[in-house]
Structure 1
Amino acid sequence: MANFLIILSEAAGEVHAEPASFGFIDATVWVSIAMAIFIAILLWKKVPALVAGMLDNKIAEISKQLKEAEQLRLDAESLKAEYEAKLADAAKEADDMRARADAEAEALVAKAKADATALIGRRKQMAEDRIAAAEATALSEVRSAAAKAATDAAAALITEKHNAAADKTLVDQAIAGVAKV
């Protein structure tokens, strides 16, 4: 910088002398001496060893933290694998449950169909039995009504065509028929 000032001063046409102590020690030499003394004090007080010790401690702490982080990562991977296995087991169990539920549903549907078919068969048989009973009752009533009508018609004919003399002849014939037996 001093050279720069000299050049700048010479460019302006002025020449300035550099300040110096003892005629030969300028500012640069004083700064160099101060730095050498500062470095000597640092070495005498063992500051580099202290800094190196602090750095070593920091490195050891960071190394310890890295080991702990690695252990945590391994634990996390272990837990992840365990939960993935549990998830796979749960998925398998869910599939098994679904398959059992499907099988049970199919069995229930088949049983319901069989029960419905049996119920329809029983109801059909009951209806056929009722129809047959109603037909038998109707046929019996028709026969009864026909017999009553025939009896009434025969009684009416007999009443019209027979009198006491004809009845006497029929009674005598019936008695004669009974006596022969």
Structure 2
Amino acid sequence: MKSKSKNKNPKANADFEFLDRTSRRVEFLYEDPWRVFRIQSDLIQSVETMARSLEDRERVVAVFGSSRKSAADQYCEQAREVCRQLGSKGFAIITGGGPGIMEAANRGAQEGDGLSIGMNIHLHHEQKPNPYLDAQHECMYFFVRKMMFAKYAHGFVIFPGGYGTMDELFEALTL
């Protein structure tokens, strides 16, 4: 393959050819068979975040609810108060780490001096981590995120939400 570079230096052309070849060889990592390793990596990083954050805590509650509610919404106010009380009793709170009810729950946990954890999800132009997180991880896959809730939570508090909330609820109910 001839280099497209107009550089007259043969060594520079060889370098460009090598780099061009290398970038093409990495594309295989994004093919389906290699997805297994990306999933495994997401799972390992998520478990590591949770294990380091929780440090063998036995009182952990996951909170599910709408990301679209404003802080003034009655359900956000309830989530904040419930999690403030749980936090003051030593419970750690795990949410999706985004806005709405998740943010209210994380805020309440911190106000009650409880541990506040967010398991966010990587979505372009969607939710960002809320400012009330003591620890957070951004999952690449929804099922890894739901697995963290199911594995580490000893209880669940569910507030109104949409399809995402229902998905999390039914995942917890079926395990």
TM-score, structure 1 as length reference: 0.22
Q: Which has the larger radius of gyration?
A: 1
Structure ranking higher on relative contact order (CA contacts 8 Å, 6+ apart): 2
Structure (1 or 2) with the greater helix fraction:
1
